[in-house]
Amino acid sequence: MSARNRHASPGSKPLPMNNQASISALLDLILERNSFVVTSHVRPDGDAIGSSLGLMHLLEAMGKQATVVFTDPIPPNFHFLPGVERISSKFPASDAVIFLECDSVERSSIDRLEFEAAQPLLTINIDHHRSGRNFAQFNWIDPEAAAVGALVYDLVVASGVPVSSVMADCLYTAILTDTGSFNYPSTSASTFAMAEHLVRSGTDPNLIARAIYFCNPLSKVRLLGIAISNLQIEGAVCWSHVTLAEIDRVGASVEDCEGVANHLIGIAGIEGAVFLRELPGRSQFRLSMRSRGTLNVSRIAEHFGGGGHHNASGCTMEGSLKEVTECIVAELRAACIQLQEDRLHASTQPSTLLA
Ligand code: 5GP
Ligand code: MN
C-alpha cells in the first residue's frame, strides 16, 4: 500500500514505487535527526519559497528545529506566506541540509563558504526538474511532479501529520505558481486533488490569488511595458530584453523581471520565446526561456550551463546584447525547424508505423 494511500487524502492516487521508497527513506532520515536547514534556489519563486516554508512547518509539527535560509530577497508577492518573517540569510549549524529545486549547492540560495564551514553531516536533495542532478547524499528527483510543493505535500501525507492551515497556504502557493495557475501540462487530476485537500485544510484560494497576482509593484508593470515594446518576432520564435538602464529608469528590482517570459509565450503562434535581462558588471545576460508542446527549452539551457523544465528554463550567457540574442534565437529557430521536420516526417509515415 502506498504512503499516500495509508493516510488517504481526498481523491489521491497511488504514488509511483520509487516515490514511495524515497518518501519512507526520507522520513526515516528526518526522524533520526533534530535540526534542519531548508533552502532552495537563487532568485526564489513561489515553489522555492512555498515548498521551503511548507517543509519547515512540517518539520516543526514533527518536533524538529527548522531554519529556512535564503540569501536573495523574497519577492513582495510572497511576503504574506506564514513563516516568511523567520527566513534567515545566515546559515546555522544543523544535523542536515535540505535543498529543494536545486541541481547543485552553487544554484542554491546559500553562501557556499558558510555551507562548507558548517560541514553538514547530511545533505538531502528534493527536486522535480528534468535537469536535476544527484548532487546530495540523499536524492529524490521526480520530473513528473507538478511542483516541489507537491512532493512536500506527499511527504506531509505520508508522515501522518495533519495538514495545518499554515502548511496548506505554503504548499498551495507552491503548486499554484509552478503549474501556472493550474494551466501547464504537469497539471492533472491529482494536482486538483491536492489543491482540494489544501483548501479543505484551511487555505483560501482567493486570498492567495490576490496576494500573488493582484499586488504587483508599479515598477514591475512598467518594466513589462518596456519588455513588450522591445519584443521581436520571427516565425514561431519571439524574443525581448531589458537593459540595466531600462531597469533603472522605472526603478525596478530583479524580482520585477520574474514572469515576463510567460507573456511572450502567450502570443498566438509562438512556440519558443526568450527574455534577456542585462546583468551588472561584465557583459552578461540572464535568459528566461519558454516553449509550448514538444519544443524542449531545458535542453537548450543545459547546453549553455543552465537548466529547468521541458517548457521553462533559464541560463546565463556572456556577450553583447546582439551576440547573445543572435546565438539564442538561432538555437530556438533551429529547434522550431527540427520540430516542423519531425511533424512532416510523422504525417508522411504509413499509419501502421505510427501505431
Ligand atoms: P525562470 O525563467 O522562471 O527564471 O526559470 C524557469 C525554470 O528554469 C525554473 O524552473 C528555474 O528553476 C529553472 N532555471 C532557471 N535558470 C536556471 C539555471 O541557471 N540553472 C538551472 N539548473 N535551472 C534554471
Ligand atoms: Mn518548481
Residue matched to cell numbers 558548517: 118
- SS3 at position 186: coil
Which residue's CA is the nearest one to ligand 1's atom 23? Answer: 307
Which residue's CA is the nearest one to ligand 1's atom 9? Answer: 308
- Ligand 2 centroid vs 103 CA: distance in angstroms? 12
CA 309 to CA 131: how far, in whole Å?
7
Nearest-atom index, ligand 1, CA of 45: 3
Task: Ligand 1 pocket test: pick from 41, 100, 184, 289 the residue with the most ligand atoms within 8 Å of its Cβ.
Answer: 41
The secondary structure element, H or E, covering residue 314 is strand 312-318
Ligand nearest to the CA of 309: 1
| pLDDT value of position 19 | 83
Ligand nearest to the CA of 148: 2
Please give the C-alpha separations between residue 30 and each of 51, 98, 118, 220, 303, in angstroms, as whole numbers. 16, 10, 19, 40, 36
Of 222, 292, 288, nearest to 251 by C-alpha is 222
Q: Give CA angle at 194 (188, 197), nearest 5°.
A: 145
> CB-based contacts of 317: which residues, under 8 Å, 6+ apart?
284, 285, 287, 304, 324, 327, 328
| pLDDT value of position 17 | 64
Q: Where are the domains of the chain?
A: 3-213, 218-345
| pLDDT value of position 136 | 95
- Ligand 1 centroid vs 270 CA: distance in angstroms? 20
Which residue's CA is the nearest one to ligand 1's atom 22? Answer: 307
Could you tell me if 297 and 289 are in contact, meaning their C-beta atoms sit under 8 angstroms apart? yes
Ligand nearest to the CA of 42: 1
- Ligand 1 centroid vs 347 CA: distance in angstroms? 34
Residues in the chain: 355
Burial class (CB in 10 A: 0-12, 13-18, 19+), 207: exposed
CA 238 to CA 218: how far, in whole Å?
25
Helix ranges (H only) for 236-350 are 244-249, 260-265, 297-303, 321-348
Q: Fill in the amino acid letter for 272.
A: G
CA 134 to CA 125: how far, in whole Å?
8
CATH H-level superfamily of 3-213? inorganic pyrophosphatase (n-terminal core) (3.90.1640.10)
| pLDDT value of position 113 | 87
The series of mean pLDDT values per 10 residues for the chain, 355 residues long, is 36 66 95 97 97 98 98 95 97 95 93 86 95 95 96 97 98 97 94 98 98 95 98 97 98 94 97 97 96 95 96 97 98 94 82 49
Nearest-atom index, ligand 1, CA of 261: 2
| pLDDT value of position 13 | 58
| pLDDT value of position 111 | 87
CA 279 to CA 327: how far, in whole Å?
17
Query: Quick one: the chain helix, strand, coil %, rounded to 5?
Result: 45, 15, 35
CATH number of 218-345: 3.10.310.30
Pocket of ligand 1 (CB under 6 A): 41, 101, 103, 107, 131, 261, 288, 306-309, 312-315
Domains 3-213 and 218-345 share a fold: no
